[in-house]
A and B are shown apart, each in its own frame.
Chain A
Amino acid sequence: GESVGLHLPTLSVQEGDNSIINCAYSNSASDYFIWYKQESGKGPQFIIDIRSNMDKRQGQRVTVLLNKTVKHLSLQIAATQPGDSAVYFCAENKRAAGNKLTFGGGTRVLVKP
C-alpha cells in the first residue's frame, strides 16, 4: 500500500549547524505534506505544512522542500539549537479521503553542544 517513510532514523547535529531531515512518500495523490516535532514525553507538535502544488515553504528557522518528481520531502532547520532535539515526523494527507494523516516512522535529531 501507499506509505510515508524516512531515510535516517537518527541525525546528530552540532549546535549552530543546519539540519536536514528527509522523507520519502509514495502516494502521488496526497494534497498536503506536514512536519511534526515530538519532544520526549509529549505529543507531536505541528511545525509546517506544504501544499502539493508548491516546491518550497519557509517558516521561522525552518524550510520545507517538496520534490514531486522523486516523491521526496525535506525539512531544513537553520542554526540548530538544543531545543530542536526531538523526533521529527513527516505526514501526508489526502483531504478527499477524510483528513486521515499517514505518518512516517520518525527521525531523531540530537543536537550536540
Chain B
Amino acid sequence: NAGVTQTPKFQVLKTGQSMTLQCAQDMNHEYMSWYRQDPGMGLRLIHYSVGAGITDQGEVPNGYNVSRSTTEDFPLRLLSAAPSQTSVYFCASTRDRTNEKLFFGSGTQLSVL
C-alpha cells in the first residue's frame, strides 16, 4: 500500500515556466488537498477536492490550478511560476470531508529562479 505518492521530489524552474506536480493515492479517499510549507510558517491550504469532479479554493489559491478527473489523482498546476512560489508542496488525502486524519505525501521541493 503506497499511500500518497508525489512526483517529482525536487524541481527547479525559471520564472514564467509552467509545470504540474503529480499526486496519487491508492486508499480510495474522497478528499484530497494541496498545501505549501514555507520556513517558519505552518502549512497553508492551496486547493482541495471533496471528490472526483469537485474542486475548491483554499487559503492561497492564486497562481495554481487543480483538477480531479479520477478519485486517485489530484495534480497541481503552476501556470507561470514566480519566485514567490518557491516552497515545499504537500499533497494529502483523507477518507472524506468529515475526517481530520490527513495522510500526506513526502513533498515536492520547488525552487523558482
> Do A and B interact with each other, yes or no?
yes
What residues of chain A have their CB less than 8 Å away from a CB belonging to chain B? 4, 32, 34, 36, 41-46, 49, 89, 91, 93, 95, 98-106
- Alpha-carbon separation in the docked complex, A36 to B100 (Å): 11
Contact A41-B106, Cβ < 8 Å, known A99-B99, A105-B40: yes
Question: Could you jot down 21 A-B contacts, CB within 8 Å?
Answer: A4-B42, A32-B100, A36-B102, A41-B107, A43-B105, A43-B107, A44-B43, A44-B104, A46-B103, A49-B101, A89-B42, A93-B100, A98-B48, A98-B97, A99-B98, A100-B45, A100-B59, A101-B45, A101-B100, A103-B35, A105-B42
What residues of chain B have their CB less than 8 Å away from a CB belonging to chain A? 4, 31, 33, 35, 40-45, 48, 50, 56, 58-59, 90, 92, 94, 97-107
CB-CB under 8 A from A100, the residues of chain B are 33, 45, 48, 58-59
**Inter-subunit contact B31/A99 (CB<8 Å):** yes
B10 vs chain A, min Cβ distance (A):
11
- Alpha-carbon separation in the docked complex, A89 to B92 (Å): 15
A-B contact count (CB 8 A): 65
**Inter-subunit contact A104/B42 (CB<8 Å):** yes
A7 vs chain B, min Cβ distance (A):
14
**Inter-subunit contact B100/A44 (CB<8 Å):** no
CB-CB under 8 A from B58, the residues of chain A are 100
**Inter-subunit contact A95/B42 (CB<8 Å):** no
B41 vs chain A, min Cβ distance (A):
6
Contact A89-B43, Cβ < 8 Å, known A43-B104, A44-B90, A98-B48: yes
A60 vs chain B, min Cβ distance (A):
15
